[in-house]
């Protein structure tokens, strides 16, 4: 009889312990999700403010401290000699006070002009879609088809309204259109690093 009571008590304690552990795991997941969302809202808001006010100091706080990868591709064609394709890592310290990167023998890569919809009213309210998984391993200058695949069918690409693409590795702020099955627009790519987002690439599809 005593042995049976001991077994019942042990079983009861085990159930309570497992239940508490499950609750703790759920709380941890919820906390992590909240932390990630706060990082997104803070970073995108700062990005919007930095470009609108041309605040170089603020931009530097959310950018990778080493390099920003710049991509400029003429997806709609290069008739009339619009320039050469660009795929290049630039030191973040080379950006000027107008928030533009000077490119040898090319027009500058100007951030404020790339994102004409800024400032945004609310980072939290941005429409979101899933960024295709291929982005995790593809080089930034190969992202064109990936971005198009991710945005296909989104109502925002009709008029070029702001939209975000989200994955476990990246968060992308986009102002883009799909015209005659061709994707054009600007994309700011942020990489998730622990509980922070860092601007790592800028893509201009013309």
Query: Using one digit for the tens of pLDDT, what is the confidence trace for 154-176?
Result: 999 999 999 999 999 999 999 99
| Residue 152 CB partners (closer than 8 Å, separation 6+) | 178
DSSP states of 51-86:
HHHT-HHHHHHHB-SSEEEEEEE-TT--TT-----E
- Let me know if residue 24 belongs to a domain: no
pLDDT at 32 over 50: no
Q: Is the pLDDT of residue 4 over 90?
A: no
* pLDDT at res. 25: 45
The answer as to whether 14 is a domain residue is no
| Sheet strands (E) in 113-195 | 128-130, 162-166, 170-179, 182-193
2 belongs to a structural domain: no
Q: Is residue 31 part of a domain?
A: no
Q: Which residue range forms the structural domain that includes residue 55?
A: 36-205
Residue 100 forms part of a structural domain? yes
- pLDDT by residue (tens digit) across 88-143? 999 999 999 999 999 998 999 999 999 999 999 888 999 999 999 999 999 999 99
Evaluate whether 183 touches 176 at the Cβ level (below 8 Å): yes
Determine, yes or no, domain membership for 43. Answer: yes
For the chain, the domain total comes to 1
Whether the predicted model's global pTM rises above the 0.85 cut: no
In a domain, 90, yes or no: yes
pLDDT bracket for residue 29 (50, 70, 90): very low
Residue 7 lies in a domain: no
Q: What is the CATH number of the domain that holds 127?
A: 3.10.450
Q: What is the pLDDT of residue 23?
A: 54
Whole-Å CA distances, 157 to 110, 178, 182, 185, 186: 22, 6, 11, 9, 12
How are beta strands 86-91 and 67-73 bridged, if at all?
Answer: antiparallel
């Amino acid at each position: 009889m005593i042995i049976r009571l001991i077994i019942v008590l042990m079983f009861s304690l085990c159930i309570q312990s497992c239940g508490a552990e499950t609750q703790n795991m759920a709380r941890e997941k919820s906390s992590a999700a909240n932390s990630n969302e706060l990082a997104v809202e803070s970073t995108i808001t700062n990005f919007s403010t930095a470009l609108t006010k041309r605040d170089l100091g603020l931009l530097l706080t959310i950018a990778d401290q080493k390099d920003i990868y710049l991509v400029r591709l003429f997806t709609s064609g290069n008739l009339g000699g619009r320039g050469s394709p660009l795929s290049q890592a630039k030191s973040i310290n080379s950006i000027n006070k107008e928030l533009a990167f000077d490119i040898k023998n090319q027009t500058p890569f100007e951030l404020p002009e790339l994102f004409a919809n800024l400032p945004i009213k609310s980072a939290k309210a941005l429409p979101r879609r899933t960024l295709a998984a291929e982005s995790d391993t593809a080089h930034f200058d190969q992202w064109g088809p990936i971005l198009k695949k991710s945005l296909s069918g989104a109502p925002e690409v009709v008029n070029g309204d702001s939209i975000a693409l989200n994955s476990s590795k990246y968060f992308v702020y986009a102002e883009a259109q799909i015209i005659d099955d061709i994707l054009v627009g600007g994309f700011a790519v942020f990489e998730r690093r622990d509980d922070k987002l860092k601007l790592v690439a800028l893509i201009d599809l013309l």
